[in-house]
A and B are shown apart, each in its own frame.
Chain A
Amino acid sequence: MDLLNLDVARQYLGVLLQGLLITVGLTLSVITMSCALAIPVALARMSPNRLIRTPVSAYVELIRATPLLLQLVYIYYVLPSFGIRLPGMAAAVIGLTLNYTAYLSEVYRGGIKAVNQGQWQAAAALGMTDTLAFRRIILPQAIRIVIPSLGNYFISLFKDTALCSVVGVQELMFKGQIVSARSFQYFTIYTLTGILYLAVGYPSALLVRWLESISSRGYSRRKRR
């Protein structure tokens, strides 16, 4: 028997592409929300006020110390016991966003701390309040510092969406499992699934590397080689 069955591949490519579309959509929506939400979380973790800092730190540590798979399953299967019933897609988006926000907040925290203290002082000396200094002076520099890390989290999120198959989201991995079980063409279907992940993941990785090279470049008017 031929391992690779091109007819099967052709037959199920459309279904798998549908899954890929959901995978990509899930990745983009979660990374967008996480990138935005992680900034206030990072600030809360650096707050001098313990009432703000402690609960937020507890959230970040809880997320970082437990498996993402458990978090997803918990939201989908345990929360209904408390009357909170979520569709798989909502559970996936919420779970992944909670998870990635926690990790990205740590990235931002490092980035904000890495901005030279003299920048705060110069802003203060010009009469800027802390809020204004953060928004205009510190954050733009911090973002530049964290771009490479954000890029890597973006790639890993793309792959982590596969875990959402356990809460019934019909993303690429889910489709792959269904289709291979139906056709018994495990080699063909899973290889094709892998190729589809690669087809998006590898260009994304290249894009991230390009972003890295930009952000490691100095601030300059001229394009440098």
Chain B
Amino acid sequence: MIELVDIHKSFGSLEVLRGVSLTVGTGEVICIIGPSGSGKSTLLRCINHLENPERGAIRIAGHSVYYDLVDGVRQPHSKQRIAEVRAKLGMVFQSFNLFPHLTALENIIEAPVHVGGMSKKDASARALELMRRVGLEDKADYYPEEMSGGQQQRTAIARALAMGPAAMLFDEPTSALDPELVHEVLEVMRRLRDDGMTMIIVTHEMNFARQVANRILFMDRGVIVEEDSPERLFGSPREQRTRAFLKNVLER
């Protein structure tokens, strides 16, 4: 479903990703953990082209994200192609990034109507269905700032789902939330997994990662240090760096 090969990305002289490869199958849930600055978020942002890696290839459902090979020559994608790839991937941000001038419902129908060409009526019906799925059917007319952080993030998830994405990318979706609101967002994500959604989740919620992930990736300094099932990675990590990180996080 999603395939990353040898991704390299630098910001100036700082190498943020130093050769990351990863394959995610359909319906699989991958959680990426690791200390801040380890490149987790950057990796996620490379997948939908919000960052442009210097080296490496990313394929989504067999289609290359950055370029096509035409007779062995790299043809970078047009802006239109990039936009199309992005529409196939739902992304949820740490800071929600809802559009403040639009209501929850308008946030959700914005892309289906103006990118997907759906009629407002159909898009609204679908949006209401999505709002029900995230437990916010009564908040359709609310503006983002009238909602709690947890409600905003659930709206953001519904917005990302509205384009019918093949996979969802979550960039620390609960890090900006008050502790008592974390649960409601994780619950929605748990249900998405039960529905068979392919997900890549960057998170600091270790318990959640342990419960929902098929695989855990531990990243540090731009590489995947260790990759394993939750039981093994949390139970008996092989790498010293993983052990040190988990000890730090879990004993807090």
Contact = CB atoms under 8 A, between A and B. Distances in A.
Interface stretch (A5-13, A137-145, A173-181, A193-201): A137-145
Interface of B: 48-50, 79-80, 83-84, 86-91, 93, 95, 97-101, 103, 110-111, 114-116, 141-146, 156, 159-160, 163
A119 B115 contact: no
A220 B146 CA distance: 7
A126 B110 contact: yes
A58 interface: no
B99 A119 contact: yes
A195 B216 CA distance: 75
Interface stretch (A24-32, A99-107, A127-135, A205-213): A127-135
A141 B163 contact: no
B93 A129 contact: no
A136 B114 contact: yes
A51 B93 CA distance: 35
Counting chain A residues whose Cβ lies within 8 A of the other chain, the interface size class is 20 to 34
Contact of B115 (A116, A126, A218, A221): A126
A49 to B, nearest CB: 15
A137 B156 CA distance: 15
Given A127-B84, A219-B100, 4 more contacts: A124-B50, A126-B160, A136-B110, A221-B141
Contacts of B159: 126
Contacts of A220: 143, 145-146
A124 B86 contact: yes
A34 B228 CA distance: 61
B144 A128 contact: no
Per DSSP, chain A at the interface is: helix
A123 B115 CA distance: 10
Contacts of A137: 99, 110
A137 B97 CA distance: 11
A122 interface: yes
B115 A132 contact: yes
A126 B87 contact: yes
B88 to A, nearest CB: 8
Contacts of B141: 221
B50 A128 contact: no
A191 interface: no
A125 B50 contact: yes
A125 B143 contact: no
A127 B115 contact: yes
A121 B79 contact: no
Given A118-B97, A122-B93, A221-B141, A128 B48 contact: no
Query: Which 8 A/B pairs are nearest by Cβ-Cβ distance?
Result: A127-B87, A122-B97, A126-B111, A125-B91, A118-B97, A219-B143, A127-B115, A127-B83
Given A128-B115, A130-B79, A122 B99 contact: yes
